[in-house]
Every structure is written in structure tokens, then in C-alpha cells.
Amino acid sequence: MADKLIIVESPAKANTIKKFLGGNTKVVASMGHIRDLPKSKMGVDIEGDFEPEYINIRGKGDLIKSLKKEASSAKQVYLATDPDREGEAIAWHLAHILEIPEDSVCRVTFNEITKETVQESMKHPRKIDLDVKDAQQARRVLDRIVGYKMSPVLWKKVKRGLSAGRVQSVAVKLIVDREEEIEKFIPKEYWNIYVSLLQEKSKEAFEAHYYGKNGKKQDIHTKEEVDTILKDIEKAKFIVDNIKKSEKKRTPAPPFTTSTMQQEASRKLGFTLKKTMSVAQGLYEGVKVEEKGTVGLITYMRTDSTRISEEARAAAKKHIVKEYGENYYENRYYKTSKDAQDAHEAIRPTYVELEPEKIKASLTSDQYKLYKLIYNRFIASQMSAAIFDTVAVDIKANDYLFKANGQTLKFKGFMTLYVESEDSKKEENKKEQENTLPELKEKEELKKQKIEPKQSFTEPPPRYTEASLVKALEEKGIGRPSTYSPTITTILERRYVEKEQKQLMPTELGKVVNNLLVENFHDIINVEFTAKIEEEFDEVAEGKEAWKQVIREFYEPFKVTVEKVEKELEHVKLEEEVSDVPCEKCGRMMVYKYGRYGKFLACPGYPECKNAKPIIETIDVPCPVCGGKVQVRKTKRKRNYYICENNPQSCNYISWNKPKLGEKWEPEENVTVETKKKTSKKATKTTKKAKTVKTSKTKRKANKK
């Protein structure tokens, strides 16, 4: 019989905690949730004031029996699930299953899984926070109602199996809206004029750009305007008119929150959100480190706070002063967003002395990369600002003004260790950091070397990446740290959105679903409503609002909307887009349909004629081998490749690269990798089968003997 039984969510976390607790203590894992709403029905009693109908999750019967047995034989049970709303709800469900009273002092949380924190936390158990649990319950119930009431509209009008969701549908809407902006965008012409100038004394050349005329800024839109300026300054002298020197400071970024960690891991490491959270979970739950044993290397990874403890601050100071010197340290506090829950610290290393390089051998490649990112970001957040000497020079040519800017790094400060990346303007920032100018004097004449006008066009807004979508969701107050990754994973798995070179693009299916939902559920599928609901969930967690009241206020207008939509769409049939491809079985013109994998062709005569086929995309360049049509296909990983329509019957053309007219083609061995894999798989199966047959024969012979 154990004196203490501690229940956590995962075996990895259980193994780490076991090592920190002496005495007769047992630590077991619940493997996540053990109760949830049923999958086969809504599971919310709307007539019974929205009471959720929880059931034990299928397949967890043996685990529940085991937990009950362990709990009944322990003197004290502690529920140490994750320190967030989801963890609080899991603890509440465990208490129900194990018949632990709600007011029992049984709840323990660890912001970091280190020996000191675990032992200290065990001294201060508390009751389950029912307000926090209710906030999770409110989200679960509301999302279930929305999904169950809205999804059937998609089944009737688009295709069975599709789903709608409060947050996922808004995320799809953002991506579709951005795509529409890009499609409607009309580029506008603009020009820049660059002049290369030489200082005779130093023989140093530098570049200046056109600013305007008579001290006023002028935007250039046409070639005619450029020609006029060039003509007016053709014989002009370039004179230094004004020099302004100053000092500029650049301060470090705060330590990571969940969203900033996801964004930086995407930009710097190329990690998907799902991968980032999975690797971070492993670092939090525990890694076996030489001379330290199994220990959690980072604090809890679901947080929207930039706050750090005074102990962590002191450890950072000691490390910075020792490694870089006193002048590299600055005690910094960061403002946390007004919408942040601030329940946990920022994401930081648990032990500053465990530098990434020192424990590299104990980590997987991905763990090392993410740990190094978290470690360096945290240490840099407590370092001095970088200092630049800047110079801004005005240069006149008659009445025309040109400007040149330069800066030199005077003191590296935090940039010794870490520089935050951005989605755009990376090259411009890099260029600005490295740009130096010669020592110039006012009234000094400079020699014009060459003048270069450059035509440009305004560009549409960029497509969202996983990183920039998370940033947008956070800025708009949609979702919370725990929801960003599952939301984006869901819309990719539903094939409403696909990823191409990190960019998120809506599929045809995504556009159809979005248009239908936005037209008919405009009050729900919008940013303002979704953000407002998140605020109400926060109020429930703080005990300021009853969770059922939030659902009641939402449900009545929602019910009216659903009934109205069902009535209006009852006799509406979505017009099918007719293709120019005849059905080879019955002659009707085939129509475009949407399935799990996107758009395909189907005969409109269904169910009499069940003919369907994929849409084959071709290019306007003939096959360089036989002159046939070249088809564009995708690998399982969505990479395009090009193949002749006659392959493999009479032509062997297949390539990763789009063919060009007149270009000679050489066979590329690695394009056939997938085919080889299939063959080798088949060969392996055959070999296994042969071995099995041989073994059976051998056994039979042995038995006869």
C-alpha cells in the first residue's frame, strides 16, 4: 500500500516525478483525458440547462480499473495534471471517477518539473479550482453545440463528413479572406532612384536614394517623372547639405510565450506548430541528463505571460555577468498583454547552468534546437541593449534631395546571443545593420559615379504561414495558447487549407465551406464574436461569470439562426460547376465535386451513372521525349512533379522540374523513389511470406520426427 498516489497525464512526466519523491510514493499516468462527451451524439442536454453527458472514453476501461485499485489502496491521492484549464478539467474528471470529494485538498501543480519545485509543490496541495474547470467545460460544451448544429448544413449542401467549428472556421475565414485580397490586388507602379556617390578623399563609394524636391517628400509613379528628375540633375553637383549623427538602441525581445515560441520555431527552425508543441512537451516532462538524472528542462509550455520568477532572474544575472561581463546585464521586466491569463511564467530553462552545448549529447536533434532557442531567448531577455552609431545625410543636387543612412554596431549587447527574426524585411534589416558611410563634412562635394532608376510594383499582402496565422489569431483575441496548434492542425487535416512552401492556401473545398458558413452564420463566423466569447471564458475562469449563463446567452440567438438557415436552404441546391469533359460512360458533361482530397470530376447522372475521376492538370509545354501532354502530379508530401501522359506505356519522361521548350531531358533516378519503395515493400512482404511458409514446413517436419 502506497502512502501517496500521484496521478499525472503522461508516463514521461510520471517517470521524472518519481525520481524526486522519496518514501512510499507511487506516480501513475492517466494518459490524458479519461472522460469526455460521446462521439456518437451531441452529449449536451439542451433541455436540461446544457448539462454535459460525460462518458468514460472507449478503450480506457482497464486503465480506469487500475487507477481505482491504486487509489483505493493509497492513504492520500494527489491529482498533478498540467497547470492549465485542460489539466484542471482532467483532475476534476479523475476526482469524479475515483470518488474524491470536490472540496478535497488533492490538487497539485508544477510550473516546472525540477526536484525543488516538485518537492515544494507537494507541500502545498489545494482544492480543484472549479471556476477554471468550468471555463474549460464552457468551451467544450459551446464548441460541441456549434459543431453539431452547423456541420449538418455542410453535409446537406456540400458533402457528408465535413465539420464546422467556432475557432477553426474563423481561422479558415482569415486564410480565405487573405487569398481574396491577393486575387483582387491590382499592382501599382512606383519608382526609386539610386545614385552611387564617391568621396574623393577616402575613395569610398556609397549609395543614396531619392527623397524629394524642395525639402518635400515625393513619390514617383511614372517613367516620365523619372526622366524629368534625371534631366534636371544631369549636370548638377551633389553637395552634402546636412549630417545628423545619433545613437540608437535596440532592446531584446521578451522570453517566450506559447505563440512567440511557435512563431520563432517556425521561422528559425522550420518546425510546424504541432512539432514545436510535441518537442516542448518532452522538454517540460523530463529528459535524462548526465550527472543530473531525469529532469524537466523548461517551464510549462502553454502560457501567454512574459513574467519570470525572481529566482530565474537572479540565475540569469549570475550567468550573464560570469560569461559576458557586468555591462552585458540589465534587469528587465516585460509587460504582459492585457488579454493574458498570466497563470504561469514565460517559457524558460529550469536550470540556467544546463547550457545547450553542455547537454547536447543527452538531447535529440530537435530537442537540442528548440532548447537552445528557448535558452538563448531567455538569457538575451535579461541582457543590455545593442547600441548603434547612426548617421543620416542629406545630399542636394540643385533643388532635389537625396538621403543616405548608415549605422555601425557600437556595442553588441544581447545580440551577442540572440536576434529575433521577422516574417518580412529580413534582408532590409540586415542591409541596414551593415551599412557604413565614409566620414563626410557639410558642403562637401561628392562625385556622381552612376545613377540608377528602378521600377517596382506594389505587392499583395503575403499569404499566411503557420507562424503569421498564430500571430494574427493572438492579436485578434481568437483562441488561447493551448488552441493554436490543434486549430491549424484540424484545418489542414480537413483539407480546407493546404500548405505550399510554408504558405497556407485555401483549397476549393475550403472556399466553398467558408462561403456557405459566412453567408449563413455571419454572426458566429466572425472575429469579433469569437474574441468576445474568449473573454467570457476568461471571466468564468476568474469566477466572475457562471459558465451556463454564457451558454444560455449564446444559445437562444444561435438556435434562431440555425432554424432560419435550415428553412432557407431547404429548397436551395448549390449550383454545380459544369466541366468541358464528357462522361465516357453516358455522354453527359461531368461536373466538379468536392471530396476529402479536394476537387474531382463526377457524372451528374448519379446514381444511374457512378462514373468519377480525378482532375488531371496539364501544362502547355509538350513532353521533351515524345511530344505528348505533360501532367502535373503531387507526391504524398504535396511536392509537384511532371510526368508524360504516356508513362509508363511508351514514354519514360518524369521529372521534378517543369520542362522548357527545346530543353533536353536526362533521366532523374530519384524521381522514381516512391515506385521503388512500393516494389521493395512488396518484395519484403513476399520474403516474409516465404520465410513463414519455410518455417511452417520445418515445424511440420520436426513434429513428424
Cβ atoms 93, 136 nearer than 8 A: no
Question: Residue 184 in 3-state DSSP?
Answer: helix
Distance (Å, rounded) from C-alpha 121 to C-alpha 503?
A: 43
How do strand 4-8 and strand 76-79 relate by DSSP bridges?
parallel
Residues 6+ apart with CB under 8 A from 679: none
Longest CA–CA separation in the chain, Å = 111
Residue pointed to by grid coordinates 515524345: 626
Cβ atoms 655, 647 nearer than 8 A: no
Beta strands in 220-346 (DSSP E): 238-250, 287-289, 293-295
What DSSP line would sit under 90-140, residue for residue?
HHHHHHHHTT--TTSS-B---SB-SHHHHHHHHTS-B---HHHHHHHHHHH
Our separate counts of H helices and E strands in the chain read 18, 26
What DSSP line would sit under 650-676, residue for residue?
T---EESSPP-TT------GGGGHHHH
**For the chain, how big is the Rg over CA atoms in Å?**
32
Told to judge if 300 belongs to the known catalytic residues of this protein, a careful annotator would answer yes
Cβ atoms 262, 278 nearer than 8 A: no
Q: Secondary structure of 37-77 in the HEC alphabet?
A: CCCCCCCEECCCCCEECCEECCCCHHHHHHHHHHHHCCCEE
Q: Which of 300, 328, 464, 484 is catalytic?
A: 300
Question: Residue 295 in 3-state DSSP?
Answer: strand
Q: Considering only CA atoms, which of 83, 79, 131, 81 is closest in space to residue 105? A: 79
258: its cell numbers: 506559447
Q: What angle do CA 206, 210, 216 make, to 5 degrees?
A: 135
Q: How far is CA 607 from CA 181, 572, 600, 602, 667, in A?
A: 39, 20, 17, 11, 44
Cβ atoms 379, 415 nearer than 8 A: no
Give the amino acid at 199.
Q
Distance (Å, rounded) from C-alpha 528 to C-alpha 524?
A: 9
Distance (Å, rounded) from C-alpha 298 to C-alpha 631?
A: 49
Q: Secondary structure of 336-365 in the HEC alphabet?
A: CCCCCCCCCCCECECCCCCCCCCCHHHCCH
Q: Considering only CA atoms, which of 156, 151, 157, 179 is closest in space to residue 576? A: 157
**Enzyme catalytic residues:** 300
